[in-house]
Amino acid sequence: MRNMIFLFFFVASVSAQERYRLCAPQSISDNTCYSLQRGESQVSCLRVEDSADCAIKLSRGDADFGVFTAEELLLAHQFYPTGLQLISQLRHKDKIIEEFEFQSVAVVPTTYNSVEGNFNGLQNGGLCHPGFSKAQMWNNYILKYFEKKVYGSTCRDSMTTAENEAMNLQNFFGKACRPGEWVSDNAYTTELKNKYPDLCSLCDTSSSCTYRNMDNHGHTGALDCLTSGRGKVAYVALNYVRQYFALDSPAAIIANMTASSYQFLCPNGTVQPLTTSNPCAWVKQPWSAIAVRDDRASSLLEGLKNWLKPTRSAEDWTTALRSIIQQDAVPNFFTEYTSFETYLRKGREVSFPTSSCGNTIRWCTISTLETNKCNWIAKAAVTHGIEPQISCDQTNSTFHCFHDIADHKADIITIDSNYGHLARQVFNLTTVLYTETETDRNSVVIAVVREGSSYNVSSFAALSKRTACFPEYGGIAWLSFINTARTNGVLSESCDYATIVADFLSGACTPGFRDRDHLNSSLTSSAGSTLCSLCPLENNNATCSANSSNIYYGDKGALECLKSTAGDIAFIEAKNLNAYIEQGLINASHYRVLCKNSSLALYTGFNVDDQCALSVTIDSEMVGRKSDEQDARVKLTDITLALLQIEDWLGYRTNVLRPIHVYGPFNGTKDLLFKDSTSGLESTSSTIKSVLAYKELFQHVQTCSSSATLLLTNISIILVGVLFLVQTL
**Binding residue numbers:** 134, 416, 477
Please give, one letter per residue, the 3-state secondary structure of 160-217.
CHHHHHHHHHHHHHCCEECCECCCCCHHHHHHHHHHCHHHCCCCCECCCCECCCCHHH
Measure the CA–CA gap between 613 and 591, rounded to whole angstroms: 14
Measure the CA–CA gap between 549 and 438, rounded to whole angstroms: 32
Name the helix (H) or strand (E) containing 225: helix 219-227
Contact assessment for residue 507 and residue 534, using Cβ atoms and an 8 Å cutoff? yes
**Which residue numbers belong to the known binding site for Fe(3+)?**
416
Can you tell me whether residue 84 is helix, strand or coil? strand
Measure the CA–CA gap between 245 and 266, rounded to whole angstroms: 18
Residue 237 burial (10 A CB sphere; 0-12, 13-18, 19+): buried
Measure the CA–CA gap between 12 and 297, rounded to whole angstroms: 21
CA end-to-end span of the chain, whole Å? 116
Taken as a whole, the chain contains a residue count of 729
| Single-letter residue type at 18 | E
Output the furthest CA–CA distance in the chain (Å, rounded).
116
- Tally Cβ neighbours within 10 Å of residue 589: 11
Burial 601-619 (b: 16+ CB within 10 A, else e): beebbbebeeebbbbbbbb
Whole-angstrom Cα Rg for the chain: 31
Burial 462-498 (b: 16+ CB within 10 A, else e): bbeebbbbbbbbbbbbbbbbbbbbbeeebbeeebebb
- CA 197-199-204 angle, 5° bins: 90
Name the helix (H) or strand (E) containing 107: strand 102-109
Contact assessment for residue 160 and residue 189, using Cβ atoms and an 8 Å cutoff? no
Contact assessment for residue 102 and residue 71, using Cβ atoms and an 8 Å cutoff? no
From the list 422, 399, 401, the residue with the least C-alpha distance to 410 is: 401
From the list 270, 264, 274, the residue with the least C-alpha distance to 243 is: 274
From the list 519, 696, 687, 685, the residue with the least C-alpha distance to 614 is: 696
DSSP assigned state of 115: B
From the list 322, 350, 351, the residue with the least C-alpha distance to 88 is: 322
**Which residue numbers belong to the known binding site for hydrogencarbonate?**
134, 477
Contact assessment for residue 461 and residue 488, using Cβ atoms and an 8 Å cutoff? yes
Contact assessment for residue 501 and residue 508, using Cβ atoms and an 8 Å cutoff? yes
From the list 290, 322, 346, 349, the residue with the least C-alpha distance to 54 is: 290
Contact assessment for residue 472 and residue 432, using Cβ atoms and an 8 Å cutoff? no
Count Cα atoms within 13 angstroms, Cβ side, for 718: 6
Positive or negative, the CA dihedral 177, 183, 184, 189 is negative
Name the helix (H) or strand (E) containing 591: strand 591-594
